[in-house]
Amino acid sequence: MIKRDVLVAFSLSLLVLSISLIIWLEGYIRIATPIISSLGESYLYYSYNPWYSNYTSFSLNVVSAIIWDYRGFDTFLETTVLMASIIAIYTLLRGFEEKVFLQPKGLSTITKTATKIVIPLIIAYALAIATHGQLTPGGGFQGGATLAVISSLIIAVYSLEFLYYMGYRSKRLVVIRGLCLIGLIIVAITPLLIGFILNTKSYIFQNMSKEDSFISMPSFLFDAPLAGSIFFYNVFELLIVFTGLTTALMLLSLRDVELKKAFEVREVYE
């Protein structure tokens, strides 16, 4: 970092400030007006609204309601994109092998002890934000990303060998991932199956009862809002994101000995 670069960067931010001052004095671009889109307003109004039971999803967190209820199919396809990227990394590194008993190289004892103290706290926090996704800010992806920080900490502090020692293998993680994706599909088509048995109308990704079908997922657990299928989706999404990110971290931190065969195989194909 040279002194000249810092000066140029500082003058760039001054340029930004001066341009915005000019625009402010001239009165162009109005942002933060009191009006938002009417679609957003209707989401805000109907997301937790016991008086309109055909439109509501009984979720106090509106973002979570949009992600899993009003736009559920969108999010399901996004989850499959995450799966597809893992498969793509597998295809790039095909032929690698995981060798378990290599010599582990970790950081110092102080760092390891501090990590040991931090890890249970992160696990508790991640589980809390994932299972309370319908009550407070949070949800499946947030919880999964927070849990994946644990595996990144373990790789950085204890080395990859410790993950193998705990029983993590990339193939097992992919199997868990596939099972959770199937679980998502099962939750999505449960209303359809119930409707088929009872011989009434019902929809895929249906959460609460609609005008022409009375089937609804459980909206309350004792006195806390469960928001129907949103809770189950959040739990499955937590596992999917955690295993997906952990698989990617493990694959990209493979040692040279393990990757040698992969690169040899590619030369044969070329």
Partner 1 sequence: MSEVFIQLAFRTSIIAFIVNIAIAMYGVYTRPSLIKKFICLIMFTDAINLFALFIGFRVVNNTYPKPPVLIREPVSPGELEEFKYIAVDPLPQALVLTAIVISLAVFMFVIGLILVYYEHYGTTSIKAMRSGGVEEVFE
Partner 2 sequence: MNIVVLPYLLVIICSLTSTFLAYLIVKERNLVVAILLLLGQGIFHSLLYYLLMAPDLFITYIPVSVGITPLLLFLLIKKTEWREYD
CA angle 88, 90, 92 (to 5 degrees): 70
From 46-54, 144-152, 171-179, 221-229, span contacting partner 2 (CB under 8 A): 144-152
Is residue 68 classed exposed, middle or buried when 0-12, 13-18 and 19+ CB atoms within 10 A define those classes?
buried
**Residue 253 binds what, of partner 1, partner 2, none (CB under 5 to 8 Å, by partner type)?**
partner 2
The 8-class DSSP code of residue 223 comes to T
- Residue numbers at the binding site for partner 1 (CB under 8 A): 12-13, 15-17, 19-21, 23-24, 29-37, 39-41, 43-45, 47-51, 60-63, 66-67, 71, 74-75, 78, 81-82, 84-86, 88-89, 92-93, 136-137, 141, 224-225, 241, 244-245, 248, 251-252, 263, 266
d(CA 96, CA 256): 10
Q: Which residue has the tokens 């909206």?
A: 219
Does 61 interact with partner 2 (rule: CB under 8 A)?
Answer: yes
Closest CA to 229 of 211, 196, 202: 202
Does 120 interact with partner 2 (rule: CB under 8 A)?
Answer: no
Does 188 interact with partner 2 (rule: CB under 8 A)?
Answer: no
The 8-class DSSP code of residue 104 comes to P
Looking at residue 108, its amino acid is S
d(CA 256, CA 160): 13
Does 5 interact with partner 2 (rule: CB under 8 A)?
Answer: yes
Catalog residues that contact partner 2 under the rule CB under 8 A: 1, 5-6, 8-10, 12-13, 16-17, 61, 63-64, 129, 137-139, 141-142, 145-146, 148-149, 152-153, 155-156, 245, 248-249, 252-253
